Structure formats: C-alpha cells, structure tokens
Amino acid sequence: MCPGTSLNTSIPQKKTPWSDTVNPKLTRRRFIKAAIFTGAAASSGAGWYMASAQSRQQGAVERLVSLNINGRTRRVDVAPQETLAHTLRYRLNLTGTKLGCNRGECGSCTVIVEGTTHYACSTLTHSVKGKEVTTVEGLRAADGTLHPVQQAFVDELSPQCGFCTPGQVMSAVALLNTNPRPSREEARQAMAGNLCRCGAYDHYLNGVMRASGQLS
C-alpha cells in the first residue's frame, strides 16, 4: 500500500429499494379513502368518542341506575353522558318535558329536582340518582284533577302554541312551593328563565297570580 493512502474499512451498505418499504397492499385508491375517512372522523368527533370509549374502560360508570321519577322508582339503562331530558323522553316516554334549544336557554325542558328547577337538557341523568325528580306528568292528581297552576293557566288562556307551557308550569309550581303568595315582580323574576315564542308572558303571570289566590 502506497504511503499516504488511507484504508477505508467500512463495508458498503446495501440500499433497499423504495418499493420494498411500502406496503404492497397500499394502493393509491386505498390511500385516498383512508385520508378521507380520517378527515371525516376528526370533523364529526368520531375520534373523540373512540378515545373516550377507551378511556372509560377503567372506572366505567354503571349504566343501569334507579331514578326517583314522580314518586316512582324507575330502573333504566343510561349512557354516561346522557342528559335527563333524553332519558325522560326517549327511555321513560315522559314526553311532557320538551326539548327546545337543547342548550339550557329556553326553559321548555324545566323539571324540579329536590324542590329546585333544573334544565333537563343540561343535567346529566347520572347526577340525579337518589334524588326526587318531578316532571309535568307528576303534577296531576290520581283522579285526573289538574294541579292548581295547570288549571290557572287554562283559565287565563296562558298557553298559545303550548310548546313552552310544561316548563312554565314547572317554574310556577316551584315558585309557589317556596313562596305561596309572590308579588307579580317576584313571579316575573322566577319565570324569567322560561322563554315564550308566542309572547304570552302576561298570561302566564296572570296564571301564577290566580294560582296563588291573588287573582279571581
């Protein structure tokens, strides 16, 4: 070996053709379909639900629960993120609770939980386990007699289209349970969480006054 000549002892690496590193089953069509599915799943939230399902495997919430609805114990299969409005309407067939905005703004889904009004569309069913829940169906007497608030609303022609009426009734009942003779302004404040698309607010207030015995 001539002086000054370096000895390269490295062994040349064999280059792997690019085609050998690609899944032979991955065609252009399959790649495009996979990309479309991934984008759709992300935009629809499917990926979030898949991840949530995996994370719930540990410490999962019991689905079969006992609910105290209108004085009766009801056993029902409830999903972990299910709202009370959904359970009442679609599992227990108590459709008097209406779904309007479905985001806690209109009050048409109002129910009474332990004496306090709640928007059923914004209340998780699992949060009311062991609590007394009253819906509009639970107000009428066993013989069919209407609750004084219901009868007063009828007498004052309060319902127009009637969609918001169940929520209005429940708010009025909760008010009179705690304040049997409210002023008109107190009634207005208590009913402020219930929207009426027909604008029959004065009729509903008159109904509250009649039910409290202050209007004949």
Last residue of a domain, one of 97, 121, 138: 138
Token match 């169906």: residue? 137
Domain span holding position 167: 139-216
CA 175/CA 73 separation, integer angstroms: 25
- Of 132, 131, 125, 139, the residue nearest 76 (C-alpha): 125
Query: Is 48 among the domain residues?
Result: no
Q: What is the DSSP letter of 24?
A: T
pLDDT tens digits for 60-85? 667 899 999 999 999 999 999 999 99
CATH number at residue 191: 1.10.150.120
Query: Is 36 among the domain residues?
Result: no
Is pLDDT of 26 > 70? Answer: no
25 pLDDT band (50/70/90 cuts)? low
Strands 64-69 and 72-77, bridge-based pairing: antiparallel
Query: Is 23 among the domain residues?
Result: no
pLDDT tens digits for 126-171? 999 999 999 999 999 999 999 999 999 999 999 999 999 999 999 9
pLDDT tens digits for 174-192? 999 999 999 999 999 999 9
Q: What is the pLDDT of residue 216?
A: 76
The mean pLDDT value of the chain amounts to 85
In 22-168, at which residue ranges do the beta strands (DSSP E only) sit? 64-69, 72-77, 110-113, 116-119, 132-134
Residue 77: strand pairing partners: 64
Q: What is the pLDDT of residue 133?
A: 98
165, 171, 176, 178 alpha-carbon torsion, rounded to 10°: 170
Residue 75: strand pairing partners: 66
49 pLDDT band (50/70/90 cuts)? very low
CA 56/CA 38 separation, integer angstroms: 22
Query: Which token pair is 7?
Result: 């000895």
Query: Is 8 among the domain residues?
Result: no
